[in-house]
Amino acid sequence: MRPVYMISGGITKFAKAHPDKDFRLMVKEAFDYAMADVPALTRKEIDGSVCSYFSDHFTRQLMAGAMVQDYLGLSPKPSRRVEGGGATGGLCFQSAWEAVASGRMEVCLAMGFETMSRVNTWKGNEFIALASDTNFDYPVGGFYSGYYAMMVRRHMHEFGTTVEQMAKVAIKNHANARHNPYAQSPALLTVADVRSSPMVATPLTILDICQMSDGAAVVILVSEEMAHKLCQQPVRISGVGCGTDAMRMADRPHGKVPLLPHESEGDYANLKYPGVHSFRGGRSAAGLAYRMAGIVNPVRDLDFVELHDAYTSSEIQTYEDLGLCRYGEGGSFVDSGAPFLDNLDYGLAFTGDQRWPKLPVNPSGGLLACGHPVGATGLMQAVFAFWQLQGTIGRHLGDDTLQLPEARRGLIHSHAGTGTYITVSILERGGI
Amino acid sequence: MNKHAKLPETDEGTVLFNVDPIIVKYHYEIDYLHSYAQDSPFFAGLAAKKLLGSRCTACGYSYATPRGHCMECGAATEWFELPLQGRIHTYTTCHFGGEAFLKETLFTLILVEFDGVDTLFLSRLVGAEPDEATIGMQVKARFLRNSKFKPTDIYFVPV
């Protein structure tokens, strides 16, 4: 495999509805933005693409990827569609990485979108729930927020995680998004705001849950030679990993924790794993990506993380899967202030627990505040990570508040189902 | 050849939500011929007031939610009858849901654990207020008298 670099990206403003633009035009906007950021790249040099969108039900158009391909003027070049629930964007990113790493392409476009406003919110929830076993899960009351509520209820039982700790995740991500003009729902919140908002599935309130969105994002990945030729500040993809688990969370076994390099068996002597409280596929994805990137202790070796916070609870669960803290410590990790930005006032007091250094998580605002147009989400994370590592947040967002001073290495994490497909990719500044 | 050919006009019209851009109502529905295939005995079991799980014929791993082949070793499974009493492994009360289930809110979902069975079973808890459900609570199965051949033919109530 050869080195792969990201040289550009683009995002549309994520919103509840963009009825004025269909999926082709949204991707075109993101694509034009990305192309404008690398003037040396011509459309002719793009060898092909991978397209990600989650749901044919939302799109009401089969082979929509082919329509994007022709709309962008990329026919008759190679293209394919990638789909894997909420991880669709992350899988698309890695599929484009494979195209370049294998030598099949020099320049590959990863493009993703979702148009979720085409049905009402509760029909949309029904569509999403069809991504659970339609014999055994969906008919019982198929509702992803219900599934995640059951998972975090068990996390609370096993580890003492609290709804206040979950609320702090919502506060963090919505506050970060106040400096991100692409975000759908920036807000300054309090714990009381989160807890008093409408209950959706106990203990998750509507502010514990991301919203449905219309939006698109694109990423351009290239070989080392093309990176040299086209871009002043390319970002290297130094690690990729992917993991899976049983579709039905009722099937999750009880075994041993797969250990990351900085952990020991004694850390989890009595923990039945993963049960429904943790995501084994996330651990698997992280382990593979860390090994490839040479990461030994993620909380120290990473400078920021953009992870799939479809729920405040799943952000906490994911800290643990990624090994940012041990299993069971996710709530305390939030309380410590470690995942918050230093330069923002969240109206919260932190414990300052010294077990963890500062590691901003979802500086962009994450899914909770940016929105979650499924097929675009994993690519949106890549674009924000790319701008962080380039140091160009100020230029792209028109506000440099979210720019981390020394961002050299970041992680992006994309997650489907109840942890059914999960991808982790590591991006690093420079390296040529 | 008829150069005066005309399509007949209809009065069906279109439901219009907006004109700039034009947003119209598009109806879509379908009836599937959905086969439960190798899972069929489970649903037949519910009609006979039995809850069937799967046990691996090679490694003995047991599943409270059936599957034809073992997730651990790949061997075929055999059917076995699950106990009709278990414990709540985790729970939630849904105040909202997918459109098809909105009219049923509030409803409580539970994952049930059974002694000696390696995996869990998703069902509904009936007969308890939302704040009465707890992890570890004993629950027992009830069956609909008239089976609909759906997993909701079985539900659980407090012991």
Helix-strand-coil percent breakdown of chain B, rounded to 5?
Answer: 15, 35, 50
> Average pLDDT for residues A73-78, to the nearest whole number?
98
CB contact under 8 A, A125 and B89: no
Could you tell me what percent of chain A has a pLDDT over 90? 97
Question: Coil, strand, or helix at residue A214?
Answer: strand
pLDDT at A22 over 80: yes
| Per-residue pLDDT tens over the stretch A168-224 | 999 999 999 999 999 999 999 999 999 999 999 999 999 999 999 999 999 999 999
A-chain residues near B96 (CB < 8 A): 122, 125, 143, 145, 200-201
Q: Which residues of B touch A248 (CB under 8 A)?
A: 65, 122
> Is A93 within the bounds of a domain?
yes
Instruction: Express each pLDDT in A364-394 by its tens digit.
Output: 999 999 999 999 999 999 999 999 999 999 9
* Closest residue to A143, CB basis, from B64, B97, B121: B97
Q: Quick check: is B29 in a domain?
A: no
- The residue assigned the tokens 């250094």 is A357
Judging contacts by C-beta atoms under 8 Å, the chain A residues touching residue B109 are: 140-141, 143, 146, 150
- Residue A276 sits at the chain B interface (C-beta within 8 Å): yes
Assess contact for A218 and A65: CB atoms under 8 A.
no
- Please name every residue paired with B94 in a beta bridge, in sequence order, or none if there are none: A201, B107
Instruction: Answer yes or no: are the C-beta atoms of A192 and A211 closer than 8 Å.
Output: no
Mean pLDDT value across residues B111-118? 97
Residue A128 to residue B96: CA distance in whole angstroms: 14
For residue A431, pLDDT beyond 90: no
What is the total count of domains within chain B? 1
- Helical segments of chain B, H only: 40-47
pLDDT tens-digit readout, A100-151: 999 999 999 999 999 999 999 999 999 999 999 999 999 999 999 999 999 9
Q: Is the preceding omega at residue A39 within 30 degrees of 0, hence cis?
A: no
| Residue A231 predicted with pLDDT over 90 | yes
What residues make up the domain containing A113?
4-118
Partners of A5 in beta bridges: A222, A236
How confident is the model at residue A253, as a pLDDT? 81
Asked if the structure places residue A205 within a domain, the reply is no
- Give B-chain residues touching A251 at CB under 8 angstroms: 63, 65, 67, 71, 119-120
Confidence of residue A430 (pLDDT cuts 50, 70, 90): confident
Q: What is the pLDDT of residue A275?
A: 94
- Chain-centre distance for alpha carbon A26: 19
CB atoms near residue B103 (< 10 Å)? 7
Contact across the interface for B118 and A253, Cβ inside 8 Å? yes
Q: Each residue of A310-320: pLDDT tens digit?
A: 999 999 999 99
Is A170 a member of any domain? no
Residue B26 lies in a domain: no
pLDDT at B80 over 60: yes
- What is the pLDDT at residue A254? 86
**Any long-range contacts for A352-355 (C-beta under 8 Å, 24+ apart)?**
A355/A325, A355/A329
Beta-carbon-side half-sphere exposure of residue B89 (alpha carbons within 13 Å):
26
**To the nearest whole percent, how much of chain A has pLDDT over 70?**
100
Note down the domain range covering B72: 37-158
CB contact under 8 A, A136 and B89: no
pLDDT value, residue A432: 53
Chain B closest-CA separation from residue A26 CA (Å): 15
Mean pLDDT, residues A288-300 taken together:
97
Which of B16, B101, B110, B150 to probe by mutation at the A interface, max A CB count within 10 Å? Answer: B101
* pLDDT, position A298: 98
The CATH number of the domain where A78 resides is what? 3.40.47.10
Phi and psi angles of residue A196, each rounded to the nearest 5 degrees, phi first: -95, 0
Is A249 within 8 Å of chain B by CB?
yes
Tell which residue, A358, A395, A149, A266, has the closest CA to residue B96.
A149
Mean pLDDT of chain A: 97
Q: Specify if B144 maps to a domain.
A: yes
pLDDT, mean of residues A23-35: 98
The helix (run of H) or strand (run of E) holding residue A163 is helix A163-176
Structure tokens at B125: 């808890």
Query: What's the number of domains chain A is made of?
Result: 1
Q: What's the rounded Cα separation, in Å, for the pair A315 and A168?
A: 11
User: To probe the interface with B, which of A135, A211, A244, A311 has the most B CB atoms within 10 Å?
Assistant: A135
CA distance A260 to B7: 69
Residue of B nearest to A152 (CA): B90
In a domain, A76, yes or no: yes
Let me know if residue B51 belongs to a domain: yes
Cα dihedral across residues B116, B54, A146, A257: positive or negative: positive
In which band, very low, low, confident or very high, does the pLDDT at A290 lie, cut at 50, 70 and 90? very high
The tens digit of pLDDT for each residue in A312-351 reads: 999 999 999 999 999 999 999 999 999 999 999 999 999 9
A103 within domain boundaries? yes
